Copies of this chain bind each other. A is one copy, B any other.
Amino acid sequence: MATSIAILGSSGYAGGELIRLVDGHPDLNVGYLGAFSTAGKTLGSVHPHLRDGHRILGANDPEVVPDVGLAFLALPHGASSVPAMALLDRGIPVVDLGSDFRLDTPQRYLNAYGDDHPYPDQLGHWVYGLPERHRSEISGTDRVASPGCYPTSTILPLAPLLAAGLVEPTRIIVDSMSGVSGAGRGVQAGLQFGAVDESAKAYKILEHRHQPEMERALDLESASPVELIFTPHLVPMQRGILTTIYAQTVTGTTLDDVVAALEHVYQDEPFVSLVAGSPETRWVTGSNRALISVNLDERTGTAVIICAIDNLVKGAAGQAVQAANLMLGLDETSGLPMEGWMP
């Protein structure tokens, strides 16, 4: 019998993807949809592309959530903590797609976000929800902090190389480009068609909050602390992240070594594959897959590693469902698209 789940924050892009995936999931069904300003409206008025549009959105209020088997929170930064703790108190496991519980110490949180965490004791007790690196911990917890989109595209290729000691942990360059849906569905001048179409730019240079998230997650893989320089870019497309990473290899490392380390880790993973050349983001649009390619500049010993994901699927809703599958004892791939759409 299918497990009923709740989604708080259903009106955004990640919320819409969660509904799409859960509606198509053989073992889950939607038991509650919460929203802020669109509470009381129909699903169809918010997400006209989804089925059963007559469903009514409720409030983003943990008190009115029915007794579901799990709750996904797709809320803005800072808005997850209170409902998450309330739901956990009621015995409802939580997958938080926001950033509230991704860091591990109050100090790191303060550094990254500029204020104190409301539940500092919780930090470090949430499992970072990247199944390919933390599968068994996810299976055994009731609280998962689902990774950010940029971190997913960065940690998947880098973690095995750091763990194997093949690349230096310092001065790693992470240069990413993202489609516009990564900025969410809120109405902003900078996200108008006239501002985004036919243009590219960097933003939040050296100050994006995904950088400490990446470092914290990669510190778990590395013998010594990881130092990343991260530049996110906005490019005129709806979905997709392409991340290009430049890491200094340890002396004597060959391209074959790098490939072998990634193949060893990912050969049996359903959602991560190595490809030759450069992956294109459209190859994974709509799917939960991550594609990685590796190159080595022999002259300087620099590994040039590229990773493509769909920021709303493997970078958000798909990865959250993958974690939920593990938490609920389901097949990890259940309900998750292996194939995307093109064009």
Contact = CB atoms under 8 A, between A and B. Distances in A.
B47 A342 contact: yes
A233 interface: yes
Greatest chain B CB density within 10 A among A47, A237, A246, A286 is at A237
A200 to B, nearest CB: 4
Interface in A185-239: 185, 187-189, 191-203, 205-206, 227, 229, 231, 233, 235-239
A188 B191 CA distance: 10
Contact of A189 (B50, B187, B239): B187
A302 B229 contact: yes
Interface in A257-313: 277-287, 293, 295, 297, 299-300, 302, 304, 306, 308
B287 A49 contact: yes
Contact of A181 (B194, B236, B277, B281): B194
A282 B203 CA distance: 15
Contact of A199 (B231, B280, B306): B280
A343 B194 contact: yes
Contacts of A246: 173, 175, 229, 246
A227 B203 CA distance: 27
Contacts of A343: 13, 180-181, 194-195, 197-198, 238-239
Given A48-B342, A192-B193, A194-B238, 7 more contacts: A49-B284, A171-B302, A195-B343, A198-B237, A199-B281, A203-B278, A235-B236
5 contacts: A23-B339, A49-B287, A193-B193, A200-B242, A202-B242
Interface of A: 13, 16, 20, 23-24, 47-51, 170-171, 173, 175, 177, 179-181, 185, 187-189, 191-203, 205-206, 227, 229, 231, 233, 235-240, 242, 244, 246, 248, 277-287, 293, 295, 297, 299-300, 302, 304, 306, 308, 338-343
